[in-house]
């Protein structure tokens, strides 16, 4: 039998939306969303037949809040959030649980092999994008260790409860809570101040 499936495949497409190619956007969704859905489609009949199972989908803080230059990545993670929430309700009568993991910054090579960038010399966005990248790299340097994320995934996989979302890292917990209580205008102002210093 299979008790738990963890959908962890994913990467980030980073850069100005205007400069993304259609192929880059399609690849982002094929990996982050369609790949995850394909795995779920394969495992659900087995879980239904054995009358139990847990699906753990790795989302991100990027599925709850937004930052500039992550538009396609955000779109993919927000898709995972909506898909997983709907799926949880759908599969509950069959004793199949769905869990969403929402990490913040993690000390990994997310900006290396786990990223695709559209950084183009001479771009109208070059200065803004460079500024934002510096801040983003610093956040990863101060992020949580991957082992912490693994522990939360294990906790979610073991859980028999109906809890859906698991934020990982103090930054994720604070930012998600903070965003819930401020307006769009305030969030946009904060992003400009933090990332662009204006």
- Rounded Cα gap, residues 145 and 8, in angstroms: 16
pLDDT at 118: 76
108-141 as b/e: b if 16+ CB within 10 A:
eebeeeeebebeeeebebeebbeebbeebeeeee
Specify the pLDDT at position 120: 73
Residue 79 has a CB neighbour count (10 Å cut-off) of 18
Active site residues: 73
pTM: 0.89
Q: What's the alpha-carbon Rg for the chain, to the nearest Å? A: 18
Q: Which regions in the chain score pLDDT beneath 70?
A: 109-115, 119, 198
pLDDT for 47 equals 98
Beta carbons of 169 and 148 less than 8 angstroms apart: yes
pLDDT tens column, 127-143: 888 888 888 777 777 77
DSSP structure string for the chain? ---EEEE----EEES-GGG--HHHHHHHHIIIIIHHHHHHHHHHHHHHHHT-EEEEEE--GGGTS--TT-HHHHHHHHHHHHHHHHHHHHHGGGTEEEEEEEE-SBSS-TTTTTEEE---TT-TTHHHHHHHHHHHHHHHHTSB-HHHHHHHHHHHHH--S---EEEESHHHHHHHHHHHHS-HHHHHHHHIIIII--
């Amino acid at each position: 039998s299979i008790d738990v499936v963890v959908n962890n495949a994913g990467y980030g497409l980073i850069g100005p939306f205007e400069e993304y190619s259609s192929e880059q956007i399609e690849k982002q969704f094929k990996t982050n969303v369609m790949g995850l859905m394909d795995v779920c489609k394969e495992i659900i009949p087995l879980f239904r037949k054995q009358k139990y199972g847990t699906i753990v989908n790795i989302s991100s803080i990027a599925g709850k809040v937004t930052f500039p230059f992550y538009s396609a990545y955000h779109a993919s993670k927000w898709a995972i959030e909506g898909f997983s929430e709907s799926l949880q309700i759908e599969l509950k009568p069959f004793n199949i649980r769905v869990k969403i993991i929402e990490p913040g910054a993690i000390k990994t090579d997310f900006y290396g092999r786990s990223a695709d960038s559209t950084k183009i010399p001479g771009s109208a966005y070059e200065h803004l994008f460079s500024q934002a990248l510096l801040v983003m790299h610093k956040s990863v340097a101060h992020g949580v260790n991957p082992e912490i994320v693994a522990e939360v995934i294990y906790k979610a996989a073991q859980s028999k409860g109906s809890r859906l979302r698991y934020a990982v890292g103090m930054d994720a917990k604070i930012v998600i809570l903070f965003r819930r209580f401020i307006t769009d205008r305030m969030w946009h102002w904060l992003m400009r101040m933090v990332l662009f210093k204006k």
